[in-house]
Amino acid sequence: MGKKTLELEVEGLCCTECAVAVEKTLSHRAGVDQVKILSAAEKVRLNYDESKTSKEELADSIAALGYKVRYKGEDVAATAKAGGSRVSREVVRFGFVALVALIALLEIGGEYLGWFEKAQERIPVPVLLATIAIGGYPIFKRAVLGAISKQINVDSMMSVGILSAAAIGQYTSSMLIVFFMGIAHFLEEFTTRKSRKAIQELVKFSPKTAHVKLNGQEREIAVEALRVGDIVAVRPGEQIPADGAVVAGVSSVNQASITGESMPVAKQAGSEVFAATMNERGYLEVKVSRIGADTTFGKIIKLVEEAEAVKAPVQKFADRFTTYFLPAAIGVAVLTYLISGELIYAISVLVAACPCAVGLATPLSVIASVGSGARRGLLIKGGLYLERLAKVDCVVMDKTGTVTLGKPQVTDVVSLNGLPAEGLLKHAASLEKNSEHPIASAILSYAGAQNVLAPDAEHFEYTVGRGLRGIVEGKAVVLGNVRLLQGLRISLSPHAESVISALGNEGKTALLLAINGVAEGIVGVADVMREEVPAVIEALRQLGIKRLMLLTGDNERVAAAIANKLGITDYRSGLLPEDKIEIVKALQRAGLTVAMVGDGVNDAPALAQADVGIAMGVVGSDVALEAAHVALMRDDWSQIPQAIQVGRRTYRVIRQNIFLGITWDIVTMGLASVGIIGPVLAAATEVVPDVFVSLNSARLLKAPERLFSRTAVADGS
């Protein structure tokens, strides 16, 4: 017995009011903590102490609020079947909504022409009462369940309004309130389904089956039946069912579902592959290392679903508004009756009071932006970080592996006495064949690309911090820094010294090559800057970022050279990880909102300290994926200004949604309190803010491509 994690699927969990009610109910249960309400995914995740409560009791407590509850994975077949007929249902519903819109216009006009009285004379009262009872049943049921749970909800107020109108003989009005409330509820469900599209777009990439090799035979099984260590066969056109390593075969794999980049990536024995990616050409055999929710794709889906639970201050404001608004609305209705003496005015106030648009404003926008970004390889972990991105005015970046590629490359081969570059590379590569230093890999890779064959070296010697010596084809060859050559009394010409100085000023390491005691050439090696970074730095300036700073553990000369190429004057060199944390803290104390860009591993502490920690190229790195607030699934700097733009755009849409929702409620309640609009018109107008919030938030699902285009960043657009 002890702590356990429970995930429940809750049908109908569609708005902030619903989320607040469920969260309150669960939080009051003994042994429950860390409740996460995921409205957009219609899920609840929580930790509980099974010695104090059970999962059945927890599920029953949610069901008591009127929701249908399933344990994760239950009724999967039924859910899939229902999903299959969704398109036809949407067509029917659209036709229904169009018809209702026409009826609504006629009825609203009729309220001022006295048609209700005539209609009531012609329609028998029992028919009207039956219509109220049948149509209002879901509203009355939710109101009763709320009362049992000691909670006031929108349905409580609607029930009072409907029944009060009927009690004073306004049967037609009461019936039409039910009618319009049904339309409003339908629109809320439609709106939340649209917001869930972002998650559904991701989930649809999930593989369903796998071909497992057992005892030389191949068998198709459900992905859920896979086990770590299984060998799976993946043919052209099939999805890779789990994370793992290629053990046989050569192919190209489309990793768009993970990185958002549609260009295929070559895979062969030893390559890492990921679940939900598509094998395009060859045949692969993969040894499974991670399955299900533990795969990179599974973690992405989980993080997107949970993004809604990471609340921004603006979302917390909306939650508080929803909590206090309903009691306040009841107070306004009572006050209206006491002042005017007109019960119908008070009923109209109750019907007009609906905070649903405010409650939907933030979750819809957050899940739309987070889901849309995730499909493009930009993973933002919630509304809190979207809001912080919107306010970022300082970007701090680590050098190695972030601004640069993180591995040395040969940049220059300079001959001092006319020996061809191929000859210089041959002798240098011969010595480096015996070394495991990163620079050795750079020289050997470059020589291979130039089709230079390097013979084996004899009598190889390595001097720590200086370089290499050996015999190549009978010649004494030395490759190293100035100190090594000076120690061997090998002189350098003024030309050689000027080349060394020039390379140093560019932040490059100069390796001198001497043959038989004569300096013959210089090989320049550097950790090369990512080609798109300068354009991105300019794009950040255009976004109004006040301060840009480069941090590195390298020496002053290298730091200055890189900063100069970037056009950055603010840099710090010779830093340890703890130094980077202190620099971020100092910037925050100065009142700046800091985004820190790093690799997510060595920079994890500084990323955590920053207001927004942005980790690059996190695919396959659980540490980086967990450490960052914003994770870039591929090494693409253009996603950094995109992330800031997405944050600003989302925050702007949220504020628009909340402003309209609050303003609409205040205006309609005010008009209702003085009798300008009656209960029917008050009910009809409730659909307006919901439609606005839905359409406004939907803009975030299809962000302009230029926000996610490398070309756009490169050309400064």
Mean pLDDT of 223-242: 91
Higher pLDDT pick, 152 / 363: 363
pLDDT of 25 strictly over 60: yes
DSSP secondary-structure letter at 451? T
- What number of CA atoms fall less than 13 Å from residue 241's CA on the CB side? 24
User: pLDDT tens digit string along 70-121?
Assistant: 886 554 333 333 344 444 444 454 344 334 435 444 554 555 555 555 544 5
User: For the CA atoms of 315, 321, 324, 329, what is the dihedral angle to 10 degrees?
Assistant: -150
The whole-number average pLDDT for the span 634-660 is 90
What is the reported pLDDT for 520? 94
DSSP string, 642-702: HHHHHHHHHHHHHHHHHHHHHHHHHHHHHHHHTTSS-HHHHHHHTHHHHHHHHHHHHTTTT
Which of these ranges, 142-146, 558-562, 654-658, has the smallest mean pLDDT? 142-146
Query: What pLDDT digit, counting tens, does each position of 172-191 carry?
Result: 777 777 777 777 777 766 66
Average pLDDT for 343-355? 88
The pLDDT assigned to 82 comes to 39
Which pLDDT band, with edges at 50, 70 and 90, does 713 fall under? Answer: very low
What's residue 100's pLDDT?
Answer: 40
pLDDT more than 90, % of the chain: 29
| 461 or 323, greater pLDDT | 461
Q: Decide if 627 contacts 615 (C-beta within 8 A).
A: yes
Q: Express the helix, strand and coil content of the chain in percent, nearest 5 each.
A: 55, 20, 25
Pairing of strands 571-572, 594-598: unpaired
Q: Report, as an integer, the average pLDDT of 54-82.
A: 67
**Catalytic residue list contains 230:** no
Which string of DSSP letters, residue by residue, matches 357-409?
Answer: HHHHHHHHHHHHHHHHHHHTTEEE--HHHHHHHHH--EEEEEIIIIIEEEEEE
CA distance 55 to 47: 10
**pLDDT, tens only, 538-579:** 999 999 999 999 998 777 888 888 898 888 999 998 888 788
Average pLDDT over residues 292-316: 78
Task: Provide the pLDDT for residue 477.
Answer: 94
More confidently predicted of 632 and 595? 595
Q: What is the pLDDT of residue 312?
A: 73
pLDDT of residue 466: 85
Question: Tokens 């009729």 map to which residue?
Answer: 110
Count of CB atoms situated within 10 Å of the CB of 220: 9
Amino acid at 323: T
* CA gyration radius, the chain: 33
| pLDDT tens, position by position, 683-697 | 878 778 878 888 888
Q: What confidence score (pLDDT) does residue 668 get?
A: 92
Q: Which residue has the tokens 């029992």?
A: 126
Residue 333 CB contacts under 8 Å (≥ 6 apart), including other chains = 346, 347, 349, 350, 353
Do 271 and 249 form a contact (C-beta atoms < 8 A)? no
Number of C-alpha atoms within 13 angstroms, CB side, residue 423?
Answer: 13
Residue 536: pLDDT band by 50, 70, 90 thresholds?
A: very high
Q: Report all structural domains of the chain as residue ranges with CATH numbers, in order of start.
A: 3-84 (3.30.70.100), 88-195+310-366+649-705 (no CATH), 207-292 (2.70.150.10), 378-404+531-644 (3.40.50.1000), 405-529 (3.40.1110.10)
Beta bridge partners of 47: 5, 33
**Claim: this prediction has a pTM higher than 0.95:** no
Report how far residue 300's alpha carbon sits from residue 370's, in angstroms, rounded to the nearest whole number: 11
* More confident position, 469 or 145: 469
CA gap 108, 113 in Å, rounded:
9
What does the alpha-carbon distance between residue 139 and residue 160 come to, in Å, rounded to a whole number?
Answer: 10
Instruction: Report, as an integer, the average pLDDT of 503-520.
Output: 89
Lowest-confidence region among 102-106, 469-473, 525-529, 547-551: 102-106
Q: In the beta sheet, which residues pair with residue 598? A: 615
- Residue 672: which residues within 8 A CB-CB, separation 6 or more? 336, 345, 348, 349, 351, 352, 678, 679, 682
The pLDDT value given to residue 704: 47
- Residue 562: what pLDDT? 87
Of 155, 243, 319, 398, the catalytic one is 398
The average confidence (pLDDT) of the chain is 81
Whether pLDDT at 36 is above 70: yes
Burial 564-583 (b: 16+ CB within 10 A, else e): eebebeebbbebeeeebbeb
